Amino acid sequence: MKIQKQPAKFKHISHTADIGLAITGSDYSAVFVNAAQAMFSLIGEIKRPAKKTVEYQVCLNASDQEELLVAWLSELLALSDINQIFFIYFQINSLSKTQINGCCKAVKFNQRNIQRKTEVKAVTYHQLSIKRDKQQITAKVFLDL
C-alpha cells in the first residue's frame, strides 16, 4: 500500500508574546520586591501620585522558592486585574523557601493617574530560575503578554 503525502493543513506562526525579566537583589526578599516592581513597570506608569492607596496582605505557600516567585507575581497580577488596581509599593514581612507574607499598596487603575503600557496575561515557568552567587541573587522569569 502506497501512502501519499497530504498537503499540510496548518502552518507555524511566529510571535513574540513573552518577555523575560532578569531580577537581582542582595537577598531573596529584595528579589521578590524587585520582581514585582519589574512586572508593574511593564504594566503601567504613574502619571501623577494618587491621594488614596489600598493595602493588601499577600500570604502564599508553594513547594519551592521558584514556584513561590511565580505564585507571588501571579497573585499580584490577579489582584490587579480583578480589582482594577495598580501596585506601587511592595514589602516582604517574612519569606522562607516555601512561604511568603507581604504587604503591598495599590492605587485605583484609571487614566488620570496611571498610563497603561502593556497587558501582562500570566507569569510562566519557562526558564524560571533563582540562583545565588557570592555577591547577589539573580532570578529569571518570563511573562506572557
- What single string gives the DSSP state of each residue in 73-136? HHHHHHHHHHHTEEEEEEEEEEE-SSEEEEEEEEEE--TTTEEE-----EE--TT-EEEE-SS-
Q: Reply yes or no on whether the pLDDT at 10 is more than 70.
A: no
Taking residues 68-76, what's their average pLDDT?
98
Number of helices (H), then strands (E), in the chain: 2, 9
Mean pLDDT of the chain: 91
Taking residues 45-64, what's their average pLDDT?
92
pTM of the shown model: 0.88
CATH classification code of 28-137: 3.55.10.10
Residue 12's pLDDT is: 58
Domain boundaries, the chain: 28-137
- Reduce the DSSP state of residue 63 to 3 states and report it: coil
Q: Reply yes or no on whether the pLDDT at 13 is more than 60.
A: no
